[in-house]
Amino acid sequence: MESTEPRKLPRVPENLLKKRKKYLGLKAAEAKRALEEKRKTQPGKQIKFKRLETFVRNSHRKLRDDARLKRMKIYQKKIPGVATQSLAFVVRITKVDGVSNAVLDALKTLRLGKIFAGAFVKLTPSSLNLIRVVEPYVAWGFPNLKSIRELVLKRGHFRRDGRRVALTDNNVIEEQLGKFGIICLEDVIHELYTTGEHFPEVNRFLCPFRLSVSRHAAVNRKGYLSEVGDPGHRGSGINQLIRQLN
Protein backbone atom coordinates (compact mmCIF):
# COMPACT_ATOMS: atom_id res chain seq x y z
CA MET A 1 0.00 0.00 0.00
CA GLU A 2 1.47 3.35 -1.04
CA SER A 3 1.87 6.02 1.60
CA THR A 4 -0.05 9.24 0.96
CA GLU A 5 1.40 12.56 1.96
CA PRO A 6 -0.91 15.22 3.43
CA ARG A 7 -2.15 17.68 0.79
CA LYS A 8 -0.47 21.06 1.01
CA LEU A 9 -2.64 24.12 0.55
CA PRO A 10 -1.26 26.79 -1.79
CA ARG A 11 0.23 29.68 0.10
CA VAL A 12 -0.94 33.21 -0.70
CA PRO A 13 1.48 36.10 -0.25
CA GLU A 14 0.65 38.41 2.66
CA ASN A 15 0.57 41.54 0.51
CA LEU A 16 -2.03 39.93 -1.77
CA LEU A 17 -4.21 39.03 1.23
CA LYS A 18 -4.03 42.65 2.42
CA LYS A 19 -5.08 43.89 -1.04
CA ARG A 20 -8.03 41.49 -1.10
CA LYS A 21 -9.16 42.58 2.36
CA LYS A 22 -8.92 46.25 1.39
CA TYR A 23 -10.85 45.63 -1.83
CA LEU A 24 -13.65 43.78 -0.02
CA GLY A 25 -13.87 46.60 2.50
CA LEU A 26 -14.19 49.19 -0.27
CA LYS A 27 -16.92 47.15 -2.03
CA ALA A 28 -18.87 46.78 1.23
CA ALA A 29 -18.67 50.54 1.89
CA GLU A 30 -19.76 51.27 -1.68
CA ALA A 31 -22.75 48.93 -1.38
CA LYS A 32 -23.74 50.57 1.92
CA ARG A 33 -23.59 54.07 0.37
CA ALA A 34 -25.66 52.90 -2.61
CA LEU A 35 -28.30 51.46 -0.28
CA GLU A 36 -28.46 54.71 1.71
CA GLU A 37 -28.83 56.77 -1.48
CA LYS A 38 -31.60 54.46 -2.70
CA ARG A 39 -33.47 54.91 0.56
CA LYS A 40 -33.18 58.68 0.21
CA THR A 41 -34.49 58.73 -3.36
CA GLN A 42 -37.09 55.97 -2.87
CA PRO A 43 -38.66 56.48 0.54
CA GLY A 44 -41.34 54.17 1.88
CA LYS A 45 -44.90 54.51 0.64
CA GLN A 46 -46.52 57.49 2.28
CA ILE A 47 -50.05 57.38 3.63
CA LYS A 48 -52.27 59.63 1.54
CA PHE A 49 -55.05 61.45 3.33
CA LYS A 50 -58.03 62.80 1.44
CA ARG A 51 -59.66 65.98 2.59
CA LEU A 52 -63.42 66.20 3.00
CA GLU A 53 -63.55 68.65 0.09
CA THR A 54 -62.15 65.93 -2.19
CA PHE A 55 -65.01 63.56 -1.36
CA VAL A 56 -67.57 66.33 -1.91
CA ARG A 57 -66.02 67.29 -5.25
CA ASN A 58 -65.90 63.68 -6.45
CA SER A 59 -69.50 63.15 -5.42
CA HIS A 60 -70.62 66.24 -7.34
CA ARG A 61 -68.60 65.14 -10.36
CA LYS A 62 -70.21 61.70 -10.35
CA LEU A 63 -73.71 63.17 -10.04
CA ARG A 64 -72.93 65.56 -12.89
CA ASP A 65 -71.73 62.70 -15.07
CA ASP A 66 -74.85 60.65 -14.37
CA ALA A 67 -77.08 63.60 -15.24
CA ARG A 68 -75.09 64.31 -18.41
CA LEU A 69 -75.33 60.68 -19.56
CA LYS A 70 -79.12 60.63 -19.00
CA ARG A 71 -79.45 63.88 -20.94
CA MET A 72 -77.25 62.49 -23.73
CA LYS A 73 -79.67 59.60 -24.28
CA ILE A 74 -82.51 62.04 -24.87
CA TYR A 75 -80.69 64.71 -26.86
CA GLN A 76 -78.06 63.70 -29.43
CA LYS A 77 -75.73 66.64 -30.03
CA LYS A 78 -74.82 67.13 -33.67
CA ILE A 79 -71.09 67.16 -34.36
CA PRO A 80 -70.01 69.16 -37.41
CA GLY A 81 -68.12 67.23 -40.09
CA VAL A 82 -68.50 63.82 -38.47
CA ALA A 83 -70.64 62.49 -41.32
CA THR A 84 -67.78 62.86 -43.81
CA GLN A 85 -65.04 61.42 -41.56
CA SER A 86 -64.18 57.83 -40.74
CA LEU A 87 -61.23 58.23 -38.35
CA ALA A 88 -60.78 60.10 -35.07
CA PHE A 89 -57.86 60.58 -32.70
CA VAL A 90 -58.77 60.82 -29.02
CA VAL A 91 -56.44 62.21 -26.34
CA ARG A 92 -57.20 62.10 -22.62
CA ILE A 93 -56.21 65.50 -21.19
CA THR A 94 -57.76 65.57 -17.70
CA LYS A 95 -57.77 63.45 -14.58
CA VAL A 96 -60.80 61.26 -13.90
CA ASP A 97 -60.97 61.04 -10.12
CA GLY A 98 -64.45 60.35 -8.81
CA VAL A 99 -66.19 60.06 -12.18
CA SER A 100 -69.04 57.76 -13.15
CA ASN A 101 -68.36 54.06 -13.76
CA ALA A 102 -69.72 54.47 -17.28
CA VAL A 103 -66.97 57.02 -18.00
CA LEU A 104 -64.28 54.69 -16.63
CA ASP A 105 -65.58 51.79 -18.73
CA ALA A 106 -65.61 53.96 -21.87
CA LEU A 107 -62.03 55.14 -21.23
CA LYS A 108 -60.95 51.53 -20.79
CA THR A 109 -62.63 50.53 -24.05
CA LEU A 110 -60.91 53.41 -25.85
CA ARG A 111 -57.60 52.36 -24.19
CA LEU A 112 -57.06 55.73 -22.53
CA GLY A 113 -55.95 54.50 -19.14
CA LYS A 114 -53.41 57.27 -18.53
CA ILE A 115 -53.50 61.03 -18.88
CA PHE A 116 -52.01 62.30 -22.17
CA ALA A 117 -52.61 58.89 -23.78
CA GLY A 118 -54.02 58.95 -27.30
CA ALA A 119 -55.57 56.36 -29.61
CA PHE A 120 -57.11 56.10 -33.06
CA VAL A 121 -60.82 55.28 -33.23
CA LYS A 122 -62.80 54.20 -36.27
CA LEU A 123 -65.95 56.31 -36.27
CA THR A 124 -69.06 54.19 -35.99
CA PRO A 125 -72.31 54.88 -34.09
CA SER A 126 -71.08 52.82 -31.12
CA SER A 127 -67.58 54.36 -31.00
CA LEU A 128 -69.04 57.85 -31.40
CA ASN A 129 -71.27 57.16 -28.42
CA LEU A 130 -68.21 56.17 -26.37
CA ILE A 131 -66.49 59.41 -27.32
CA ARG A 132 -69.57 61.39 -26.26
CA VAL A 133 -69.50 59.64 -22.87
CA VAL A 134 -65.89 60.72 -22.17
CA GLU A 135 -65.99 64.06 -24.00
CA PRO A 136 -65.50 66.25 -20.87
CA TYR A 137 -62.19 64.47 -20.23
CA VAL A 138 -60.70 64.12 -23.72
CA ALA A 139 -59.86 66.19 -26.77
CA TRP A 140 -60.65 64.59 -30.09
CA GLY A 141 -60.85 65.36 -33.75
CA PHE A 142 -60.01 64.24 -37.25
CA PRO A 143 -56.27 63.60 -37.88
CA ASN A 144 -54.69 64.14 -41.27
CA LEU A 145 -52.10 61.94 -42.95
CA LYS A 146 -49.16 64.00 -41.70
CA SER A 147 -50.27 63.68 -38.06
CA ILE A 148 -50.79 59.92 -38.39
CA ARG A 149 -47.36 59.45 -39.94
CA GLU A 150 -45.63 61.54 -37.25
CA LEU A 151 -47.37 59.66 -34.45
CA VAL A 152 -46.55 56.22 -35.81
CA LEU A 153 -42.93 57.03 -36.68
CA LYS A 154 -42.12 58.87 -33.46
CA ARG A 155 -44.31 57.25 -30.81
CA GLY A 156 -45.39 53.94 -32.34
CA HIS A 157 -44.96 51.03 -29.90
CA PHE A 158 -46.16 47.45 -29.68
CA ARG A 159 -46.18 44.92 -26.85
CA ARG A 160 -43.72 42.02 -26.66
CA ASP A 161 -43.78 39.78 -23.58
CA GLY A 162 -45.77 42.42 -21.71
CA ARG A 163 -43.29 45.21 -22.46
CA ARG A 164 -43.62 48.25 -24.73
CA VAL A 165 -41.16 48.09 -27.62
CA ALA A 166 -40.56 50.87 -30.14
CA LEU A 167 -41.86 50.08 -33.61
CA THR A 168 -38.66 50.43 -35.65
CA ASP A 169 -38.38 47.09 -37.42
CA ASN A 170 -40.45 46.16 -40.48
CA ASN A 171 -39.71 42.50 -39.79
CA VAL A 172 -41.86 42.67 -36.66
CA ILE A 173 -44.73 44.19 -38.64
CA GLU A 174 -44.47 41.48 -41.27
CA GLU A 175 -44.36 38.81 -38.58
CA GLN A 176 -47.46 40.11 -36.77
CA LEU A 177 -49.53 41.58 -39.62
CA GLY A 178 -48.10 39.93 -42.73
CA LYS A 179 -51.11 37.62 -43.03
CA PHE A 180 -53.20 40.76 -43.68
CA GLY A 181 -50.83 42.04 -46.38
CA ILE A 182 -49.27 44.64 -44.05
CA ILE A 183 -45.49 44.34 -44.04
CA CYS A 184 -44.02 47.80 -43.28
CA LEU A 185 -44.61 51.10 -41.49
CA GLU A 186 -46.10 52.74 -44.58
CA ASP A 187 -48.66 49.94 -44.78
CA VAL A 188 -49.59 50.56 -41.13
CA ILE A 189 -49.98 54.29 -41.77
CA HIS A 190 -52.07 53.66 -44.89
CA GLU A 191 -54.37 51.21 -43.08
CA LEU A 192 -54.96 53.70 -40.26
CA TYR A 193 -55.57 56.66 -42.57
CA THR A 194 -58.01 54.81 -44.81
CA THR A 195 -59.59 52.83 -41.92
CA GLY A 196 -59.21 49.77 -44.12
CA GLU A 197 -60.54 46.27 -43.72
CA HIS A 198 -57.86 45.31 -41.19
CA PHE A 199 -57.94 48.55 -39.19
CA PRO A 200 -58.98 46.74 -35.93
CA GLU A 201 -56.01 44.37 -36.14
CA VAL A 202 -53.54 47.19 -36.81
CA ASN A 203 -55.02 49.35 -34.05
CA ARG A 204 -54.83 46.49 -31.52
CA PHE A 205 -51.23 45.81 -32.56
CA LEU A 206 -50.25 49.38 -31.70
CA CYS A 207 -50.07 50.48 -28.07
CA PRO A 208 -51.85 53.71 -27.07
CA PHE A 209 -49.65 56.68 -27.92
CA ARG A 210 -48.03 58.30 -24.89
CA LEU A 211 -47.87 62.01 -25.64
CA SER A 212 -45.79 64.53 -23.72
CA VAL A 213 -46.58 67.90 -22.19
CA SER A 214 -44.38 70.53 -20.57
CA ARG A 215 -43.73 69.93 -16.88
CA HIS A 216 -45.46 73.07 -15.58
CA ALA A 217 -48.66 72.21 -17.45
CA ALA A 218 -49.30 69.19 -15.24
CA VAL A 219 -49.03 71.34 -12.09
CA ASN A 220 -50.04 74.87 -13.00
CA ARG A 221 -53.70 75.03 -14.02
CA LYS A 222 -53.28 78.24 -16.00
CA GLY A 223 -50.26 76.87 -17.85
CA TYR A 224 -52.11 73.62 -18.41
CA LEU A 225 -55.03 75.34 -20.14
CA SER A 226 -52.76 77.46 -22.29
CA GLU A 227 -50.72 74.43 -23.37
CA VAL A 228 -53.49 71.93 -24.05
CA GLY A 229 -56.76 73.82 -24.16
CA ASP A 230 -60.22 72.72 -23.14
CA PRO A 231 -61.54 69.18 -23.68
CA GLY A 232 -64.08 68.38 -26.35
CA HIS A 233 -64.35 68.23 -30.11
CA ARG A 234 -61.54 69.98 -32.01
CA GLY A 235 -62.27 68.93 -35.59
CA SER A 236 -59.16 69.45 -37.70
CA GLY A 237 -57.66 71.38 -34.78
CA ILE A 238 -56.61 68.06 -33.27
CA ASN A 239 -53.67 68.11 -35.70
CA GLN A 240 -52.26 71.20 -33.99
CA LEU A 241 -52.60 69.51 -30.60
CA ILE A 242 -50.83 66.39 -31.91
CA ARG A 243 -47.88 68.46 -33.11
CA GLN A 244 -47.82 70.27 -29.77
CA LEU A 245 -47.72 67.08 -27.71
CA ASN A 246 -45.81 64.78 -30.07
pLDDT at 42: 60
HSE, side-chain direction, 13 A CA sphere, residue 132: 19
pLDDT at 33: 84
pLDDT at 55: 80
pLDDT at 246: 81
pLDDT at 188: 94
Encode pLDDT of 87-103 as tens digits. Answer: 999 999 888 877 888 88
Q: What is the pTM of this model?
A: 0.73
For residues 26-59, b (16+ Cβ closer than 10 Å) or e, as one string?
eeeeeeeeeeeeeeeeeeeeeeeeeeeeeeeeee
pLDDT at 121: 95
pLDDT at 10: 67
Fold of 88-143+218-246: Ribosomal Protein L30; Chain: A, (3.30.1390)
What are the residues whose beta carbons fall under 8 Å from the beta carbon of 229, sequence distance 6 or more? 93, 139, 241
pLDDT at 70: 84
pLDDT at 224: 58
Encode pLDDT of 51-73 as tens digits. Answer: 777 888 888 888 888 888 888 87
Q: What share of the chain has pLDDT > 70, as a percent?
A: 85
**Could you tell me the residue ranges of all domains in the chain?**
88-143+218-246
Please list the ranges in the chain whose pLDDT falls under 50. Answer: 1
Q: Where are the alpha helices (DSSP H) in the chain?
A: 14-41, 52-74, 101-109, 125-133, 145-155, 170-177, 185-194, 199-205, 221-228, 238-245
pLDDT at 102: 87
